[in-house]
Chains A and B, each alone.
Chain A
Amino acid sequence: MPSMTVGDVLRSRGVTRRDFLSFCAATTATLGLPAALAPRVAAALERATRPSVIWLPFQECTGCTESITRAHGATLESLIFEAVSLDYQHTLQAAAGDAAERVRAQAMKDHWGRYLLIVDGAIPTGNPGYSTIAGHDNLSMLKEAAGGAAAIVALGSCAAFGGLPGAQPNPTGAVSVADVINDKPIVNVPGCPPIPVVISAVLAQYVTFGTLPELDALGRPKVFYGQTIHDRCYRRPFYERGQFADSFDDEGARRGWCLYKLGCRGPTTYNACATVKWNNGTSFPIEAGHGCIGCSEPRFWDQGGFYRPLSTGDWGNARTVGTAIGVGTALGVASAALARKRQRDAEGS
Chain B
Amino acid sequence: MTLLEFARGPALQWSVTVFIVGALWRLLGVFLLRSRKDLSEPRNRAAWKGLRLIALRSWPRREFLGGTAFGEVMGYAFHLGFLLTLFFYVPHVLFFADVSRGLIGTDLQGLTGFAWPTLPNGVITLLAGISIAALVAVLVHRIVNPIKRLISNFDDYFSWFVTIAPLLTGLVAFAHFAGWPYERLLAWHLLSVELLLVWFPFGKLMHAFTIFAARGATGLIFERRGASL
Residues of A participating in the B interface, judged by any CB pair closer than 8 Å: 228, 230-231, 239-242, 244, 260-261, 267-268, 298-299, 303-304, 308-318, 320-321, 323-325, 327-329, 331-333, 335-337, 339-340, 343
Contacts and interface: CB of A to CB of B under 8 A. Distances in A.
Nearest to A305: B101
Contacts of A310: 91, 186
Given A244-B90, A313-B8, A267 B182 contact: yes
Question: Chain B at the A interface: mostly helix, strand, loop or mixed?
Answer: helix
A277 to B, nearest CB: 21
B98 A331 contact: no
A329 B20 CA distance: 9
Interface stretch (B23-31, B64-72, B151-159, B206-214): B23-31
B95 interface: yes
B117 to A, nearest CB: 11
A261 B118 CA distance: 13
27 contacts: A240-B122, A242-B118, A261-B94, A268-B186, A309-B95, A309-B98, A310-B91, A311-B94, A311-B95, A313-B98, A313-B102, A316-B16, A316-B17, A316-B103, A318-B104, A321-B17, A321-B20, A321-B103, A324-B16, A324-B21, A331-B21, A336-B28, A336-B33, A339-B29, A340-B32, A340-B33, A340-B34
Contacts of A335: 25, 28-29
Given A240-B121, A242-B118, A324-B17, A314 B12 contact: yes
Contacts of B16: 315-316, 321, 324
Interface string B25-62: 11111111110100000000000000000000000000
Contacts of A343: 33-34, 36
Given A331-B25, A332-B29, A325 B20 contact: yes
Given A230-B182, A310-B186, A315-B12, 20 more contacts: A228-B182, A241-B121, A242-B90, A242-B118, A267-B182, A299-B5, A309-B98, A312-B95, A312-B102, A313-B190, A314-B12, A314-B102, A324-B16, A328-B20, A328-B24, A328-B25, A329-B28, A336-B28, A336-B33, A339-B29
Contact of A315 (B2, B90, B99): B99
A299 B186 CA distance: 18
Given A317-B103, A336-B28, A268 B13 contact: no
Given A313-B102, A314-B13, A324-B16, A242 B120 contact: yes
Contacts of B168: none
Interface of B: 2, 4-5, 7-9, 12-13, 16-17, 20-34, 36, 90-92, 94-95, 98-99, 101-105, 118-122, 124, 176, 182-183, 186, 190
A313 B98 CA distance: 8
A303 B1 CA distance: 11
A260 B32 CA distance: 45
A332 B4 CA distance: 33
Contacts of B183: 267-268
Contacts of B103: 315-318, 321
Chain B CB within 10 Å, residue with most, of A268, A311, A327, A339: A311
Given A313-B102, A325-B24, A328-B24, A320 B118 contact: no
A308 B16 CA distance: 20
Contacts of A309: 91, 94-95, 98
Given A315-B13, A318-B104, A332 B91 contact: no
Nearest to A321: B103
Chain A CB within 10 Å, residue with most, of B31, B91, B124, B190: B91
Nearest to A303: B5
Contact of B24 (A230, A241, A332): A332
B126 to A, nearest CB: 13
Nearest to B184: A268
A320 B25 contact: no
B156 to A, nearest CB: 24
Nearest to B176: A231
